[in-house]
Amino acid sequence: MQPLSDLNSILKEMLAAAGPVTFARFMELALYHPEHGYYERRASRVGKRGDFFTSVSVGPLFGGLWAWQFAEWAAAGRDQPLIWLEAGAHDGRLAADFLMALERQRPDCWERMEYWILEPSVKRRQWQEEALSRWLSKTKWFPNWAALPATGVRGAVFSNELLDAFPVHRLGWSRESAAWFEWGVTWEGGRFDWVRMPGNPPVAAELDNTPPELRAVLPDGFTVDLCPAATIWWEEAARRLRSGWLVAVDYGLTAEQRFAPGRANGTLRAYAGHRLATDLLARPGEQDLTANVDFTALIKAGERMGLRLDIFASQSQFLTRIAAQMWAAGVAWDAVQTRQFQTLIHPEHLGRAFQVLVQRPGAVVSAA
């Protein structure tokens, strides 16, 4: 029998002492335990040598495209100072790609912008400082929203694959009691296992208006992943955005899509070594856990905070539009950049799975 990892032992003891925990709590510890959490232990989780690819790990072009978009947005407001705030900056790679491209290609925007990073983890901040050593005078870090200056952000608040890494509550449908229960985690027979826990009314409230006709046909155990942490984060971001753009790039669903029959097990996935792992609860801290973002919930949260939908488009549509602007301005790409672009927009790679959501204070609705 393999020796248990440190986090395995910690979780096992916790469950033995206090009984089952919600999956959300388990996921929070698996990913963010200050010492042993998946995202706290090694910078190289993302990319070829890590467990999964993101658009950032495809190459520097992704940051270059977003830098161009930012400069275009900024062009409207001429001499105003502007902030690009990134959350989920991980090892600082996107920030470095963005700053490199902006400095080279868009001096019009470069002089008057600052790069802010929202980073609660001291370790990740250190990785980012190393990656951004050339631009330290341009960059500021904040551990949480409350630490931002009271003037808030004028510019863009951006994240790529941040919200899919927030802990989710997993609600299951009980046919017997015709009610939602919450999936929890227990330690049973030498392994972590699922257990049905009593429903969690504040979290389940989001499913209160599930139509009765749908409830009548849901199979027992049908699972929906809900992420109140993502909605709260989006509201916090909206509160700080004085003017500009609130942007999330992620893979996700609209609320109706989560009831598709093919999603009876929710959208939670685990990755290790670029493969989907079969046991979601195995090896906590050693494999990535991720669930689709609920874009409908984000859009509604933004609207509650006075934001309007500006763009909701596939990554492919959105990046192609930026690329067209760059080409029209005479920017030429080499073969490596062209390949990166094809991967970013290819429907079988990252182009269709990823969506770009942009909300703005007071913006009018526009098609992407």
Question: What is the binding site for ligand SAM (CB under 6 A)?
Answer: 39, 46, 54, 56-57, 87-88, 90, 94, 118-120, 124, 160-162, 165
Residue in the structure block whose two tokens are 């182009």: 351
3-class DSSP assignment, residue 289: strand
Residue 224 vs 293, nearer CB to ligand SAM: 293
C-beta of residue 171 within 8 angstroms of C-beta of residue 180: yes
With a CB cutoff of 8 Å and minimum separation 6, the contacts of 307 are: 238, 241, 246, 359, 360, 361, 363
Residue 43 vs 82, nearer CB to ligand SAM: 43
Residue 88 vs 266, nearer CB to ligand SAM: 88
3 state SS for 4-70: CCHHHHHHHHHHHHHCCEEHHHHHHHHHHCCCCCHHHHCHHHECCCCCECCHHHHCCHHHHHHHHHH
3-class DSSP assignment, residue 269: strand
Residue 75 vs 232, nearer CB to ligand SAM: 232
Four-residue CA torsion sign, 131, 136, 140, 141: positive
Residue 89 vs 218, nearer CB to ligand SAM: 89
Residue 89 vs 197, nearer CB to ligand SAM: 89
User: Min. distance of Cβ 255 from ligand SAM in angstroms?
Assistant: 23
Residue in the structure block whose two tokens are 């079988």: 348
Residue 182 vs 288, nearer CB to ligand SAM: 288
Residue 219 φ/ψ region, left for φ over 0, alpha for ψ in the -120 to 50 degree band, beta for the rest: beta
User: Min. distance of Cβ 175 from ligand SAM in angstroms?
Assistant: 35
Which residue's beta carbon is nearest to the bound ligand SAM?
88
User: Min. distance of Cβ 252 from ligand SAM in angstroms?
Assistant: 13
Dihedral, CA atoms, 143, 144, 147, 149, nearest 10 degrees?
A: 110
- φ, ψ for residue 8 (rounded to 5)? -55, -50
User: Min. distance of Cβ 159 from ligand SAM in angstroms?
Assistant: 7
DSSP label at 144?
A: S
Residue 165 vs 203, nearer CB to ligand SAM: 165
User: Min. distance of Cβ 230 from ligand SAM in angstroms?
Assistant: 10
User: Min. distance of Cβ 117 from ligand SAM in angstroms?
Assistant: 8
C-alpha span between 283 and 335 (Å, rounded) = 40
User: Min. distance of Cβ 63 from ligand SAM in angstroms?
Assistant: 10
Structure tokens that stand for 349 in this block: 């790679």
User: Min. distance of Cβ 170 from ligand SAM in angstroms?
Assistant: 18
Other CB atoms within a 10 A radius of the CB of residue 81 amount to: 12
C-alpha span between 361 and 367 (Å, rounded) = 17
User: Min. distance of Cβ 144 from ligand SAM in angstroms?
Assistant: 8
Residue 57 vs 355, nearer CB to ligand SAM: 57
- φ, ψ for residue 225 (rounded to 5)? -95, 125
User: Min. distance of Cβ 171 from ligand SAM in angstroms?
Assistant: 22
Residue 186 vs 315, nearer CB to ligand SAM: 315
Instruction: Give the orientation angle of helix 315-328 with respect to helix 61-75, to 10 degrees.
Output: 70
